[in-house]
Structure 1
Amino acid sequence: MPVEWQGSTISAAWADDDDGGDDGGDNGGGDDRDNDRDDDRDDDRDDDDRRSSPGSRTERGGSGDRPSRSGQRRPANAAPQATRPRAPVVLPTRAPSEVVVSDASAEDLAQLVSEGFVIEATVNLDNLNRVLTRLTTPPGLSLEAARDRVRALPSGNVADFNHYYRFEQKEGLEASSHACLHENCPAWEMIEWPQLTQASGTCSVRVPVGMIDTGINSEHEIMAGARLELIQLSDASLAPSKAIHGTAVASLMTGDPQSRVPGLIHGAEIIAVDAFSRNGADERADLVSLLRGFDALKARGVRVINLSLAGPGNRLLEQAVAQLVQEDGIVVVAAAGNAGPKGEPAYPAAFDTVLAVTAVDARARVYRKAQRGPHIDLTAPGVNMLSATSIRGARLKSGTSFAVPFVTAAVAIMLSTDATLTPEQVRAKLIGSARDLGAPGYDEIFGHGLLNTSNLC
């Protein structure tokens, strides 16, 4: 018999976090700048630039007397010790033995059970008006064959793997010559963000804004005054997500105007779903938890959803996103992904119904690890973005994850100005006003160009 869903099957973990935690400890007072000196040490293994940056602790072949691992010092003229290159960590893209099907009939499910499938759980998505069934595949049957078997049944067409989705960020300083790195003013200026009209209250957000991410530290000093509701959907039996990525993304939208990270739409109602959990060194959200997040956000009446995450294409995910956009009038904005220029398209950004956002630095140069393709819609700042850490202070972060909030914030203002706009009309307005970058006209690196908010208000 199916069991009632008691939590998401997210088995997530943080691949890039330091075992020592995310703060170096409070320094006993001082302003944000002082606290930042011993700020978060999260994602120390995530920033590959650190290995070649001057003064890095992991810089190889440097001069000087340095202790060896045995505690003895090497002479200054000694040959550099050989280092063994670390093998790249390959993270799984899906649950190893699971298929998820939407709205399967009782007869078809009974047939699958007779063939050795096991019904692990049913998930009622009341607001999306559908029922998900998580199936464990029979022994000896490949995952692809199991999925195809479910799809072959009369009601099994909408079946797919239980894919994993991860956020898109890198830590640390990317090369830039702009003088304003300690604040996000270069990013605001390059898209002509209406900060003055926002400050006067003439360009406020009056629609709820949704996001699906990791946990968020709502007590962070940078988040002071934020109208933030956090919905926890992760499985309590698994390790909870760390409030690193979610806090950073949320701070760009709703940070205290008087802090080091003033939010683009501070004062807006932000409804955030924590859909991530940890499994060893991997932090991820599975398909089912994402769909539960969509269901919860639809129930809250959001008009735009920020998805600073990416993963494989999935039939159930595509159907749910299309429903949100085409039937419910919700604009979905997602990160292009950080797998590099030759990476395959990442989802949900690559779905036709989604606004796919890539990232550039303060000089409008594309983020070196951003994915490309014919699905890219818009470009926004996403390199060297100062954002809140999970406990206190702020640090620079880069990735397509941090470009998404700029487009989400712009959409929120547009819908607050004219609530009758459809997602297609929002897309057309954003594309029509974008500033062309790269080759003339549309291209697969910058899409239709840089987000332009000069006439937003």
Structure 2
Amino acid sequence: MTSRSPGLPLSPPPAVPPALPRLAAGLLGVLLWGAGLGLAPASAQSAFPERFQRGTGTVRPLTRVERPLPMVRQPAVRQPANLPAAQLRPEPGRYPAPREPGMGRPGRPRPGGGWGGVGIGVGAGIIGGILLDQATRPRVYEPEYDEPPPPRYPRRPVVTVEEDFDEPATRPPRRTRPVREAAPPRRTPPRTARPAPGPPAVSVPAVAETRFVPDEILIELAPNAQADTVLRRHRAVLLASRSFALPGVTLIRARLEGGRTARGVLAQMARDRDVAGAQPNYLYALQQPAPGDTAALPPAAPVPDKQPQYIVEKLRLGDLHKLARGEKIRVAVIDSGADQAHPELKGVVEASFDALGGEARPHAHGTAMAAAILAQTQLQGVAPAARLLAARAFSGEAGPAAASGTTFHILTALDWAAGEGARVFNLSFAGPQDRLLSRSLAGARDKGIVAIAAAGNGGAKAAPLYPGADPSVIAVTATDAEDKPFSQASRGSHIAVAAPGVDVLAAEPEGRYAFSSGTSIAAAHVSGIVALLLEKRPDLNLEGVRKLLTESAVDLGSRGRDAVFGAGRVDAPAALARALPVSELGR
């Protein structure tokens, strides 16, 4: 860019009309084209001489006769060597014809080619195109001479006032678009991948565990698996097959052949894809009182009024029965059966069931548990108006397996009691941890059934016993008349509450009575209290009952909850008061 001196304006060059270059280019092209056409006759004469008259330059058509014939080479004629040059005759076809008037030099074309005019015209067109392109191009803006070109898209004029130069110019507010509410996100159900088939849930007992039937196993088949194929593969014989509603499973009870043991076969089944689950048929024992803790009374002997009946004072049954008696609440006692002809149980049995089959003989344990809950005559039951569901799942036979029951029989009894509308399960037995039993108790909890279990008589250093240690039950330990713990009771953080269970007068078969001690009868007393609570509050579930019992319990031992007493000894009136509305408490 050139510099510009102030005060000396430069005059712009004169503008050239845009049409003048185009006109000049067109004229130049026409002149050049005409010049090319003027040279065409000479070139045509030289290229095609036979079509022109000699000496005239006029064109005439070429006839068929006048067309040049192909040259035939004649044989050479020998000339005498001594003849003069004038007498020599030319050989025909050897030399060209002599030149005639009007023709050019013999054998040579006249100057000028046949494409001269075309070439000149093409060159003229190229030059004209270049000139035309230069003429039609937009003029370059020269800031020294020209005015700036107008913008392509003119902006709106901005009006400013001289007085307001010191203040920033304000623009009108922009129109805000209405805010649209965002559409709610689509709820697409999550795609859950189908779980890959995993290893079967097989419970292989530890080496130190002996509480199971050695030659029996319980099998849960995988979908589409054939029972005959699985049994044949593992050399087992079918004993029974049953579907259970509470755990939601169909089980096969099988006996092993050929001296095979349950532990060895279960280890093999852990790799069998046709087996969804398998475990031993565990053994459970009723929590019998220890020798010396039971004193039998003759059938016709009167029942002492004070010491044997200390539970009436401890549980304040007189005041309690004024508010509730367990009306129409069905309590299932899963035990060794009960002597339904005993005077304490007349008229209270709603239904009975025998999961073992065969001949059933009344057993002392089942009769004592049922009377502790529903006694009617000389004894005072905790819930005398409740209804008894007596389920026999324990044999009660003498011997090493006295009063023992298996997993299969207990599950059968629980399923039956749930189908009969039981609201309370009394489980006064103990044994090993059992996966199938735990599933059954969880199913009962989901149905609103409250399961009460004995903590067990294993002693202070024993491992937790089941089902007392299962989270789906309320575990109960035993205390005596002075609120001291039962010496043989199990300990643990799973214990919820304590109840009277030492030297308690209980019913026995054939109309007899006996003193009994243990966590079994303590659990039966708590089952009666739960029946009273459910009479007034049918909506209570397991956790609701647990909360009422633990929050109203009398604290014993160390302050707060402990492994010996749990939350403390049950206080039935206080628990019922928490469950009843204020209007009923004032009656």
Q: Same fold (TM over 0.5)?
A: yes
Corresponding residue to 2:404 among 259, 262, 284: 284
Q: Kindly tell me: are residues 245 and 279 of structure 1, through their superposed partners in 2, closer, same or farther at Cα, counting changes over 3 Å?
A: closer
CA distances 1:204-239 after superposition (whole Å, capped 9, x unpaired) = 433211110112111112223424422122231xx6
For 2:566 and 2:274, locate their aligned partners in 1 and report how far apart those are by CA, in whole Å: 38
* Aligned twin of 1:389: 508
What does 1:138-157 correspond to in 2, within 5 Å? 139=258, 141-154=260-273, 156-157=275-276
Q: 2:429 aligns with which of 286, 309, 316?
A: 309
Is the Cα contact below 8 Å between 1:158 and 1:316 reproduced in 2?
no
For 2:214, the aligned partner's letter is P
Moved over 6 A (4+): none
2:365 matches 1:245: yes
- Partner of 1:189, secondary structure, is helix
Q: Which residue of 1 aligns with 2:313?
A: 189
- Match of residue 534, structure 2, among 389, 411, 415: 415
Letter in 2 for 1:196: D
2:522 corresponds to 1:403: yes
Specify which of 327, 330, 348 is matched with residue 226 of structure 1. 348
- 1:202 Cα offset (Å): 4.5
How is 1:254-273 mapped onto 2 (pairs within 5 angstroms)?
A: 254-256=374-376, 258-259=377-378, 261-273=379-391
Residues 154 and 211 (structure 1), Cα distance of their counterparts in 2 relative to 1, 3 Å cut: farther
More relative contact order, 1 or 2 (CA 8 Å, 6+ apart):
1
Aligned-partner Cα distance in 2 for 1:397–1:430 = 24
Structure 1 counterpart of 2:470, one-letter code: F
- Per-residue Cα deviation, 1:385-422 (whole angstroms, up to 9, x for no partner): 10111112311011111101111111111111111112
Q: Could you say what secondary structure the match of 2:498 adopts?
A: strand
Shift of residue 144, structure 1, vs aligned partner: 2.3
1:14 is aligned to: none
Tell me if structure 1 keeps the 8 A contact 2:247–2:439.
Answer: no
Match of 1:125 among 226, 241, 244: 244
Match of 2:567 in 1: 448
Q: Does 1:344 align with 2:463?
A: yes
Residue 262 of structure 1 aligns with an amino acid whose one-letter code is Q
The superposition leaves residues 413-447 of structure 1 with CA deviations (integer Å, 9 ceiling, x where unpaired) of 11111111121111111111111111111211111
What's the TM-score once normalised by structure 2's chain length? 0.57
Question: In the alignment, what sits opposite 2:332?
Answer: 210
TM-score relative to the length of structure 1: 0.72
Could you say which structure has the larger radius of gyration? 2
Q: In the TM superposition, what are the counterparts of 1:431-442 in structure 2 within 5 Å? A: 431-442=550-561
Distance 1:253 1:272, change over 3 A: same
Post-superposition offset of 1:174: 7.9
d(CA) in 2 for partners of 1:388, 1:408 = 17
Corresponding residue SS for 1:113? helix
Which residue is equivalent to 1:330?
449
In the alignment, which residue of structure 2 is the partner of 1:63?
Answer: none
Aligned-partner SS, 2:225 = helix
**Secondary structure, in 3 states, of the residue corresponding to 1:447?**
coil
Residue identity (%): 29
CA distance in 1, matches of 2:494, 2:485: 16
> In structure 2, the residue corresponding to 1:377 is in which secondary structure?
strand
Of 211, 218, 224, 1:100 maps to: 218
Q: What is the count of residue pairs matched by the alignment? A: 356
Q: Is the Cα–Cα contact under 8 Å of residues 454 and 520 in structure 2 kept in the other structure?
A: yes
Structure 1 residue 247, shift from structure 2 partner: 0.7
Is 2:328–2:385's contact at 8 Å kept on the other side of the alignment? no
Residue in structure 2 matched with residue 274 of structure 1 by the alignment: 392
Contact 2:339–2:510 (Cα < 8 Å) also in 1: yes
Question: Measured at CA, do residues 157 and 341 of structure 1 come closer, stay the same or move farther in structure 2, by a change above 3 Å?
Answer: farther
Matched to 1:116, the amino acid is R
Indicate the residue corresponding to 1:27 in structure 2.
none
Q: Residues 289-304 of structure 1 correspond to what in structure 2 (within 5 A)?
A: 289-304=409-424
Whole-Å Cα distance in 2 between the matches of residues 174 and 295 of structure 1?
33
Letter in 2 for 1:390: P
Could you give the per-residue CA deviations for residues 232-254 of structure 1, whole angstroms, max 9, x where no partner exists?
A: 22231xx6454211111111111
Residues in 2 aligned to 1:295 and 1:146: alpha-carbon distance in whole angstroms: 28
Report the alpha carbon displacement of residue 308 of structure 1 after superposing the two structures with TM.
0.8
Q: Which amino acid aligns with 1:345?
A: P
Query: Is the Cα–Cα contact under 8 Å of residues 127 and 299 in structure 1 kept in the other structure?
Result: no
How many Å separate the matches in 1 of 2:222 and 2:418? 23
Tell me how far 1:155 sits from its aligned partner: 6.4
After the TM superposition, which residues 34-183 of structure 1 pair with which residues of structure 2 at under 5 Å, given as runs?
93-102=211-220, 104-107=222-225, 109=227, 110-126=229-245, 129-137=248-256, 139=258, 141-154=260-273, 156-170=275-289, 172-173=292-293
User: Is the contact made by 1:255 and 1:263 (CA closer than 8 Å) also made in structure 2?
Assistant: yes
